[in-house]
Amino acid sequence: MSNSPLRIGIAGLGTVGAGTIKLLEQQASLIAMRCGREITVTAVSARDRSKDRGVDLAGFNWHDDPVALASDDSVDVVAELIGGEDGPAKDLVEAAIANGKHVVTANKALIAHHGTALAKSAEAANVAVAFEAAVAGGIPIVKALREGLAANTISRVFGILNGTCNYILSEMRETGKEFDVVLKEAQELGYAEADPAFDVDGVDAAHKLAILTSLAFGCELNFDAVHIEGIRHISPLDIEFAEDLGYRIKLLGIARQTDKGIEQRVHPCMVPLDAPIAHIEDVFNAVVADGDFVDTTMYEGRGAGEGPTASAVVADIIDIARGRMPNTFAIPADNLAKMQEAPISSHVGSYYVRFMVADKPGVFATIAGALHEHNVSMEAVLQRGRSENEAVPVVLTTHEADEASMVATLDAIAKNDAVVEPPRLIRIESF
């Protein structure tokens, strides 16, 4: 291992980029002591040179074109903190690998879509592509799966992977407010973007889940195989019924081995109140991994923000400074298996369903008849209130059924004129 300083070029000087510079400066002595050499920032790239980012950039080489960092002789490691699936971020990472430079990134979209190819290129060039910051912010889950649990066969990994959604669901439960109201408040607090679609529609969590799946099961990334649902359709009524039934609603990403292949799914779940993950609130993330020797392990912390994400970026830089270069996805990239997908239609589990129906005779007979026809067994039924002029909720939970049968059942029930809204389905998970 060299004793000379490790020189970092940072592309993207937003919250995480500026935070990384602050952390490296404030913790310089501690970091040097722990990794045996100094780590210094030598070059940066961003669109606006005049913007005040709260850090002194005067001593760094400035590149208007981020890709130019890849050929800067003063840079050993490129930190890609631009974001985005393609465009400058992808161009920079590919150029850095081609120039024999290590890469550290917080870009989950880039890794989820191109991680397999980038890993193969990096390993062929004997450089690292490190992405601890791309999944769950300050929680070291990548290192846990790749190193700490390396002796285990992982059967399932799941978790709360998006703090924005977790905050919204927590606030809806605490206040009884509708989704749109809480979303607007989250935007005002800076917990949600002006365009919140990636968060509330589940895409951000799906990017992270695809990465965890590859790490856990030794397969190529396959983002397109992730079943994705968001939280826009969750209502305070569903949250209230969940509590009555002994559950809490969480947006989870779940990957598990089944006899049909690997399931990858992101959607709201009914989680039992006695499950630890049911009590992860606000903007916090949590990831659970089940291993054959270690049993169940859980990791909790802040999933975003300047400090936690910068901490994860610098942790990867420290590994490189120490000369530690584990395989990108725990095994050599050329050995990653093609994923055998288990489609959502093959999922087997229990379900919560809410119907909004006109209160008139025969409605429940229609529901019961459709359940019987499609071999779906009812476990419990809840109904509140009666009104001749307004729709009333009818809630049922089922015993285990396959997804295809459940969808067919709901399609049949939805055709009844007494059902005034599309049925709302939430899968029940037993942890």
Angle at which helices 28-35 and 306-321 cross, to 10° = 30
CA-derived radius of gyration, the chain: 24
In 3-state terms, what secondary structure has residue 287? strand
Q: Exposed (0-12), middle (13-18) or buried (19+): which is 431, by Cβ within 10 Å?
A: middle
d(CA 31, CA 23): 10
Strand partners, 253: 159, 266
Residues annotated catalytic, as ranges: 208
Closest C-alpha to 383, from 411, 422, 406, 354: 354
Report the Cα–Cα distance between both ends of the chain, in Å, rounded.
44
Query: In this structure, are residues 74 and 184 in contact, taking their beta carbons and an 8 Å threshold?
Result: no
Closest C-alpha to 134, from 161, 158, 104, 108: 108
d(CA 60, CA 23): 16
CB atoms within 10 A of CB 367: 25
Residue with token string 């939280």: 231
Q: Are strands 348-357 and 61-63 parallel, antiparallel or unpaired?
A: unpaired
Q: Output the CA–CA distances (angstroms, integers) from residue 239 to 18, 172, 395, 420, 426, in the order listed.
A: 39, 8, 12, 20, 11
CB atoms within 10 A of CB 419: 20
DSSP 57: -
Closest C-alpha to 63, from 77, 54, 75, 55: 75
d(CA 157, CA 152): 13
Contacts of 161 (CB under 8 A, 6+ apart): 135, 136, 204, 205, 208, 209, 252, 253, 266, 285, 287, 303
Q: Are strands 424-428 and 261-272 parallel, antiparallel or unpaired?
A: parallel
